Structure 1
Amino acid sequence: MRKPLWKNIKNKMEMKDSSVWMMICIILIGLFFFVMAAPNLQPQSYEIEEFTEAQETIYSPVTIEDQKETESKIQRAVQAVDEQYTISDQITQDRMEYINEIFDAAEKINQMEADGKGEKSETERLSEYESLLGNEITKNVNTETLATILSAEAEELLEAKQFLLEHTREIMTSGVKSSNLRQKEIEFNRNVVYSPFSDSLKDALSELGSFFIVENSFFDAEKTAEERRKAASNVDPVMIRAGETLVESGDMITSEIYEDLLLVGVLKNERNLLPYIGLGLLILILSGLLYLEWLNQRDWDKKTVFTIFIISIGAVSTMKIFSYFDTNELRLFLAVPAATGVMVIKWLINDRFAIILAIIYSVMAAILFNFHMPGFLNVEAGLYMLFSQLTGIYLFQNMRDRGEMVKVGLGILVVNVLTILFFTLISFTPIDWRELFTLIGFGFGGAFFTSVLTLGLMPFFETGLNILSESKLLSLANPNHPLLRKILVEAPGTYHHSVMVANLSEAACEAVGANGLLARVAAYYHDLGKTVNPRYFIENQMGEKNPHDLLQPEQSAKIIINHPYDGAYLLREHKMPKEITDIAEQHHGQSLLKFFYYKAKEADDEVKQSQYRYPGPKPQTKEAAIVFICDSVEAAVRSMNQPSVEKLEEVVKSIIHDKLIDGQLSECPLTFQNLNQIEIAVCELLKGIFHSRIKYPDQAVAAKEEN
């Protein structure tokens, strides 16, 4: 039996060892964060003068607009825009009406004469013709031209009318400006020259053309300004991209290159240390937050510390890699599988610690995705990472159900899309649907890779860090496991007892939301220590004489008390998971061996109770406490001759009450409600097991009456 003093010393050494490892972990994480974030604080500075030779190739540390060059480009685009003119359709229509008026009036005069309304002289006919025309025509068209039109044959007159309408409309529709009016008149006269009309009629048509062809296209200042605005808006800003080569080694620093170097901020003569001090303070705050949360945690070991270190390094490294390819336009940070690390942390540790790390990672994201622009924090990236991580932490409940990862991935996708829409709608810019769907695609990629990476990392931590998982528990539950075979062969009664305890423990755990599979497997191994002296435990005596009859009570007590610690020793020797070893060591807590204690008390009233108590520790987890209770329940029920429903319920309630009063459950997280749920679950299972052997009250009475 191990001495309590040695156990206390060992526990203190383990706590101190874990504290040292945690401090080392926090310091290393802080240093790594500083190294990752430092390049994003400010650009590299150079001492360069204009018209000198560049000693090395210089790249732009930031993405920035060259406003001077952009303005020059806009001016060139504006100057290239032609003046805009507006064609007056009303003027064109008026000219067409003048043509119709001139020829319709001539046709009317000729028609009146043809109808025999009296012959008139040419002068009278011309006078009557002019009276039918408007003042605008008579003022601008001479009498000789009108006389020629009036004297033309009807067929020729119709052809002339069609000729004028067609060519005048064509010229006027194309637009007649003051600058090209003469050119349009020449064009019209050229058409007249090649027409089939008589020379006198051609002269008349040329004269009419001078009247019909007038300016109808006027300078439009508003339209010109609008076109120039469009040209200016279509000019892409001249950007100096992060990573763009500003000057090659050996090239001359011209005025233009010097202005670019000045613009991107690499011509500072002194490096500013203030940003590094600020980053150091931020890292100190984040490290302090991590340390304070560590103080609130109960149990730490090297595996847990190493897990936090690996995940933190991996999470920040992933963001750093994505930041190398990200730009302000691309926004690749939306595709980062941000929730993977904190989901693994929740699974391995707890959700509270995962939330703290989610906040820390989000702050780092705001720095790492600042597009190498000193003094800029990408709040969008920080909020996006935080929302995505918190969603993963909240939805990730049960790793044993692999299908749940699909639900978690869908939940993260919904939150990612809503966050992207939030950023888009508050930007006060027109929605570019193509760009929006691209960003949503990034959000989908982040959610998808979060699910895939989380599933992929689980086996790594299970195997590499010896993490207890469902698959590992199932392999340990195999009856062919060497230790289970050892129990079955060397202590068959104990094996049967362990199987019964396992059934009861699993049912009780499921009732209170604990890990039923862990409790079942731990129950299989909890009495492994009995294989050291199997004949000293009643379930293995098989009708043989009880060897305790030949021993003193204190000797018997020592053998019985040793079995939890012998079992824990064997489990550690076989590299069994710590959770199972702890349950084996705690499954009797600090209980009193009442039988041997009272037997010893009969011989000596001054016997100390502490000599007949297990050294502990008391159960520390729900699973350990449930195995502790079910172990006593199974032993008590097995000793009953004729179990009934009432007796079973009485025994279960009595055992739980005694353990509670004795203070054996004071260090486990079970509540009174949990104890009530355990009692109900255990009783229901026992009723099923002993159903065929139970005589219910009514049945017993009926049987008695028949006899």
Structure 2
Amino acid sequence: MKVFKGMLETIVKIRSKWLRIIVPVLALCLYFFIITIGNVYTETYDIEPLTTARETIRSPITIENQEETERKTRQALEAVEDRFDILTNIADEQIGYIEEIFVALDKLETDAKLEEDKDGIPVQLTNKEKVERLKQLLSNSITDKVEDSVFLRLLDVPKEEREKGKEIFISYLQDEYANGVRTANINSAINRVRENIKYSTLDQNLIEAFHELTSFAMVENSFYDAEKTAEAKKQAASNVEPVMINAGEVIVREGETITNDVYEKLQLVGLLNKDRNVFPVIALGLLVLLIGSVIAYEMNRIDNLKHLDKGKIASILLISFFVISVMKIISIYTTASNELFFIVPVATGVLLLKQLINERLAIVLSILYAVLGGIIFNNGIPGTLNVEVIIYFFFSQFGAIIFLTNVKDRLSIVRSGIGMTVVNILTILLFVFLSFEKYSLGEVIVLSSFGVAAAFLSAVLTIGLMPFFETGLGILSDIKLLQLSSPNQPLLKKILTEAPGTYHHSVMVANLSETACDAIGANGLLARVAAYYHDIGKTVRPHYFIENQLSIKNPHDVISPEQSAEIIIRHPYDGAELLKKHKMPKEIIDVAMQHHGTSLLKYFYYKEKETNKAAREEDYRYPGPKPQTKEAAIISICDSVEAAVRSLKEPTEEKIEEIVSSIVNDRLMDGQLDECPLTIKEVKVIHQTICETLKGIFHSRIQYPMKEAK
């Protein structure tokens, strides 16, 4: 039954813990989502083709206009001419036939001059005989296609004129063959050759002969090459650049007609109501959940260290709300030309977080704030992140964290502001030098002044908001602790004047506690200040405590041990009530209540035992609670150690070691340290540190053995 009850309590505790963390984180995620949804979810329009645009509409995304790309590709393919192979052997063969005709003509004339009859008289051949003899000298490929009239005209032309004409005719043929003669253009090629011959200065018979020969000599020598044509078309298609609609590109301007082409572009980029796309919203939801998960993890980590309370949870929410709200407000007035994001005092949040909670959380949230800033300042182009904003915000915040070296001094915020100024200006110059745009000196000065203003505003806002978080939310910062440690504080004056012995005891406990806390990495400043106030309850009845009984009779001698125990046991709770009345931080009130835990008031218990065997130990124990934090546990140990060591007449090193060991072991065996997060290793370090500190304090009082007089 006890096991079941324990498990139930554990489940309830875990559930309560996660409710404390998850509910605020979900509220924060919801706020982030509402603030940034307008930056990812585009406005859509209920418009029809051939109407007038009521406003300038830009593309929210970068997307390929596939239809336009396909149209350009078709045009490129259509522009590709068919590829042909030109066969030079065909041209050589046809020109060879022409040359053969002229060679045959020359041979015929030569042979005719040498031929004589029986009487030695040269034989005169008729035209018909000449043609027949000429045809006998020519190939059938020529005689079958060339008319006899062509040969007769050529025979009527003198040899010199004929040779001149042959050269001209062949050159015209070669020019056409070089360009390629195809079936589609063969008639054009023939006509060009005939036209060139027609207007030459050659003999008319020769011109007419060449006119006829052109039809014979000009044949197709260029043939379609399907493979080369396909390769050319492929190359042309690959050279076509995709037609893109870029994010931010104006699709239609106010007052212009929404043509069918414009309407198709609006439809393509999803700006029509019927094309609304929910995927960007889903993506934003996932991003916000990831951010919330990181924040929840960090809050859980702080909670495991017993450092998370309602005030710190509220501060995380309020700081995040403030930073993101400032970003959103400034983004409304930011354009691509004025770049007002440089003036955002984004570092305010991390400066507050480092002072109020810790540096790790400040670094983590600086990254998250930068990412959200990249969305908020995306110039109204959904689906994009402004990388410049992310880089600038990150370095600005990180610089603030680095330069805030001493969180115990408000002036360190001013020094951090100076460091931020340098970082902001360097980051802005980085963007200026990387940009393809040419910035004038005046523009660079203006942008740099934005960075200076952002740093100045961050420092001023941090200083101004700190008191609100410290007082309004009850968060205990180091600066607040330093203020509470001032001797001018009313409660410390009260202890000094009404219980001076207790005051000096508290100062000693504070010194021991701070040293021990620093040794194990706990909050030494908190321990010191809490130690100053831990015994404030003794001011209610100061003379009942031995350190304040200077030159007076001990009042416990005249009352019963039971009454004495009741008075002594009451002082932690009297102190807590007094601290609450003066609105002191919860951490200090807790230490006042917990520094005795449930320990036994041994002196009065055993004194009562001497006369009353039925005395109950429970009546002589403090009601608790036991120390819940490392600081409270250390103060509990140091409180007992200081009182015990102060009571020693001769505090030697051995006695100090013995008393400290006895008190630490007693606390462990009595279970007083069971509910605090101290480890055994840390307890050993605390033991050693307290001993070394006490030895240093009481070193001058240690007595050494004297030499015996001879």
- Where on the TM-score scale, by shorter chain, does this alignment land: which range? 0.5 to 0.7
Change (3 A) 1:575 1:409: closer
Residue in 2 that maps onto 1:192: none
Q: Alignment partner of 1:290: what SS?
A: helix
Aligned to 2:31: 32
TM-score under structure 1 length normalisation: 0.61
Match of 1:455, SS state, is helix
Q: Following TM superposition, by how much is the alpha carbon of 1:403 offset from its aligned partner in structure 2, in angstroms?
A: 4.4
In structure 2, the partner of 1:589 is 597
Within the alignment, does 1:705 sit opposite 2:704 as a pair? no
Aligned match for 1:360, one of 345, 368, 388: 368
User: Residues 328-343 of structure 1: matches in 2 within 5 Å?
Assistant: 328=336, 331-343=339-351
Name which of structure 1's ranges 359-368 and 258-267 shifts more when overlaid on structure 2: 258-267
Q: Could you tell me how far 1:32 is from its partner in structure 2?
A: 1.6
2: distance between equivalents of 1:62 and 1:449? 33
CA distance in 1, matches of 2:59, 2:581: 58
How many Å separate the matches in 1 of 2:289 and 2:551?
69
* Residue 685 of structure 2 corresponds to residue 673 of structure 1: yes
Say yes or no: does 1:253 pair with 2:257. yes
Q: Is the 8 A contact 1:42 1:373 kept in 2?
A: no
Match of 2:324 in 1: 316
Cα pair 2:59 2:246 within 8 Å, conserved: no
5 Å matches for 1:212-611?
246-247=253-254, 253=257, 262=266, 267-270=271-274, 271-298=276-303, 299-328=307-336, 331-405=339-413, 408-409=416-417, 412=420, 442-469=450-477, 472-473=480-481, 475-477=483-485, 481-488=489-496, 490-506=498-514, 515-542=523-550, 544-549=552-557, 553-602=561-610, 609-611=617-619
Count residues in correspondence: 514
Amino acid at match of 2:272: K
Please identify, of 432-441 and 478-487, the stretch whose mean Cα deviation from structure 2 is larger: 432-441
| Distance in 2, Cα, partners of 1:644 & 1:61 | 84
Q: Secondary structure at the match of 2:317?
A: helix
Aligned counterparts of 2:555 and 2:309: Cα–Cα separation in 1: 42
Q: Which amino acid aligns with 2:689?
A: Q
Tell me how far apart the structure 2 counterparts of residues 15 and 493 of structure 1 sit (CA, whole Å).
44
DSSP-derived class of the 1:468 partner? coil
What is the CA-CA distance between 1:398 and the residue it aligns to?
A: 2.6
Q: Is residue 62–residue 264 contact of structure 1 (8 Å, CA) maintained in 2?
A: no
Instruction: Identify if the C-alpha distance between structure 1 residues 27 and 511 changes in structure 2 by more than 3 Å, giving closer, same or farther.
Output: closer
For residues 323-372 of structure 1, give each alpha carbon's deviation from its aligned partner in whole angstroms, at most 9, with x where no partner exists.
Answer: 22334455443443333212312322223333442333233122112111
Q: What does the per-residue CA deviation read over 1:423-475, in whole Å, with 9 as the maximum and x for residues that have no partner?
A: 67877x58868577766665555444434433333233223333334554455
Measured on the aligned residues, the alpha-carbon RMSD in Å equals: 4.5
Task: Flag the 1:350–1:283 CA change in 2: closer, same or farther, 3 A.
Answer: same
Give the aligned partner of residue 683 of structure 1: 695
Cα distance in 2 for residues equivalent to 1:382 and 1:252: 36
- Distance in 2 between residues matched to 1:432 and 1:542, nearest whole Å: 79
* Alignment correspondent of 2:703: 696
SS at match of 2:706: helix
* CA distance, structure 1, for counterparts of residue 361 and residue 472 of structure 2: 22
Cα distance in 1, alignment partners of residues 678 and 412 from structure 2? 27
What is the distance in 2 between the residues matched to 1:280 and 1:661? 52
Contact 1:62 1:241 in 2 (8 A): yes
> Would the aligned equivalents of 1:586 and 1:618 in 2 still touch at CA under 8 Å?
yes
Retained in 1: the 8 A contact 2:61–2:269? Answer: no
Distance 2:574 2:10 in 1: 18
After superposition, the C-alpha distances for 1:580-633 in whole angstroms (9 at most, x for unaligned) are 111111222333323234445556778665544334333344443343233223
Higher mean alpha-carbon deviation, 656-665 vs 275-284, is at 656-665
> Contact between 2:348 and 2:459, CA under 8 Å: does it hold in 1?
yes
Structure 1 CA distance, aligned partners of 2:314 and 2:249? 36
Deviation, structure 1 residue 515: 4.9
**Structure 1 segments unaligned to the other structure (5+ residues):** 1-8, 68-237
In 2, the alpha carbon distance for the partners of 1:63 and 1:414 equals 36
Q: Is the 2:597–2:626 contact (alpha carbons within 8 Å) kept by the matching residues of 1?
A: yes
| Separation (CA, whole Å) in 2 of partners of 1:17 and 1:426 | 51
- Say if 1:448 and 1:487 are closer, same or farther in 2 by CA, change over 3 A: closer
Letter in 1 for 2:40: L
Q: Distance in 1 between matches of 2:554 and 2:424?
A: 69
Instruction: Please give the per-residue CA displacement for 1:108-162, whole angstroms capped at 9, x wherever unaligned.
Output: xxxxxxxxxxxxxxxxxxxxxxxxxxxxxxxxxxxxxxxxxxxxxxxxxxxxxxx
Q: Does structure 1 retain, via aligned residues, the 8 Å contact 2:352–2:462?
A: yes
Matched residues in 1 for 2:433 and 2:27: separation?
Answer: 40
For the structure 1 residues 528 and 269, does the alpha-carbon distance in structure 2 shift closer, same or farther, using more than 3 Å as the test?
closer
- Structure 2 CA distance for partners of 1:286 and 1:619, relative to 1, 3 Å: same
Does the CA contact (< 8 Å) of 2:656 and 2:694 recur in 1?
no
Aligned-residue offset at 1:701: 0.6
Conserved in 1, the CA contact under 8 Å of 2:492 and 2:533? Answer: yes
In 1, Cα distance between the equivalents of 2:249 and 2:376? 14
The separation in 1 between residues aligned to 2:262 and 2:437, in whole angstroms, is 36
Contact map agreement 1:18 1:300 (CA 8 A) in 2: no
Task: Provide the rounded CA distance (Å) in 2 between the counterparts of 1:566 and 1:389.
Answer: 45
Match of residue 119 from structure 1: none
Aligned pairs (5 A) from 1:143-162: none
Closer, same or farther: CA 10–557 of 1 in aligned 2, 3 Å:
farther
Letter of the 2:534 counterpart: H
In the alignment, is the contact (CA less than 8 A) between 1:625 and 1:668 conserved in 2? no
How far 1:393 moved relative to its partner? 3.8
- 2:691 partner amino acid: E
Find the aligned partners of 2:10 and 2:487 in 1 and give their Cα distance. Answer: 33
CA distance in 1, matches of 2:268, 2:418: 42
- Percent of residue pairs bearing the same amino acid type: 48
Following the alignment from structure 2 to structure 1, what is the Cα–Cα distance between the partners of residues 669 and 403? 38
The structure with more radius of gyration = 2
SS at match of 1:34: helix
Structure 2 vs 1, CA of residues 372 and 256 (structure 1 numbering), >3 Å: closer, same or farther?
same
**Residues 480 and 332 of structure 1: is their aligned pair in 2 closer, same or farther, counting only changes over 3 Å?**
closer
Map 1:607-686 onto structure 2 (within 5 A): 609-644=617-652, 647-648=655-656, 650-652=658-660, 654-656=662-664, 658-659=666-667, 662-665=670-673, 667-669=676-678, 671=682, 672-686=684-698
Q: Is the 8 A contact 2:538 2:571 kept in 1?
A: yes
One-letter amino acid of the structure 1 residue matched with residue 285 of structure 2: G
Deviates more, 1:412-421 or 1:580-589: 412-421
Equivalent residue letter for 2:290: I
Is the 1:620–1:669 contact (alpha carbons within 8 Å) kept by the matching residues of 2?
no
Contact 2:61 2:383 (C-alpha < 8 Å) held by counterparts: no
Give the structure-2-normalised TM-score: 0.61
Does the Cα contact within 8 Å between 1:512 and 1:678 map onto a contact in 2? Answer: no
- Cα distance in 2 for residues equivalent to 1:51 and 1:261: 14
- Distance in 1, matches of 2:513 and 2:256, equals 81
Q: Deviations over 1:522-557 (max 9, x none)?
A: 333212222344443223444555444455545543
What is the alpha-carbon distance in structure 2 between the residues aligned to residue 381 and residue 291 of structure 1?
Answer: 25
Q: Give, in angstroms, the shift of residue 373 of structure 1.
A: 0.6
Task: Please list the CA deviations of residues 34-59 of structure 1 after superposition, one character each: whole Å capped at 9, or x if unmatched.
Answer: 121111114322222354356x5556
